[in-house]
Amino acid sequence: MALQFPNASRSFDEQRKTVRFQGYDGMFEIRFLVEADALIRTADRSAVEPDYLNAFDSQRSVIQKAAVKVYERNRRSSYTLTADDLR
């Protein structure tokens, strides 16, 4: 089966400065983190949780394509996506 994203939920992890989301390969849940710096590429240190979640939402299709790409290279149960992955 191919990696799919039927659940649009995402959450911000303040401690790790990442946005979490998940995909599914059949019955297997695959966890993803996206580094906050990959979402907001400015030096703006005043960004807060809603800013990161809005940035994720606006880039969702790019993020999901990157997730599929890294998953197809090496199938694991979790990944952290960086700015390089989103290019």
pLDDT (mean) for 4-14: 96
Domain 11-81 listed as CATH 3.40.50: no
Domain boundaries, the chain: 11-81
pTM of the model: 0.92
Percent of the chain scoring above 90 in pLDDT = 86
Quote the CA–CA distance of 57 and 63 in Å, as a whole number: 9
User: Does 42 have pLDDT greater than 70?
Assistant: no
Q: Residue 66 corresponds to which tokens in the numbers above?
A: 């990157």
User: Does 83 have pLDDT greater than 80?
Assistant: yes
Q: 5-13 — which CB contacts under 8 Å span 24+ positions? A: 5/64, 5/67, 8/60, 10/53, 10/56, 10/57, 12/36, 12/49, 12/52, 12/53
Q: Where are the alpha helices (DSSP H) in the chain?
A: 36-39, 49-58, 60-73
Classify 35 as helix, strand or coil: strand
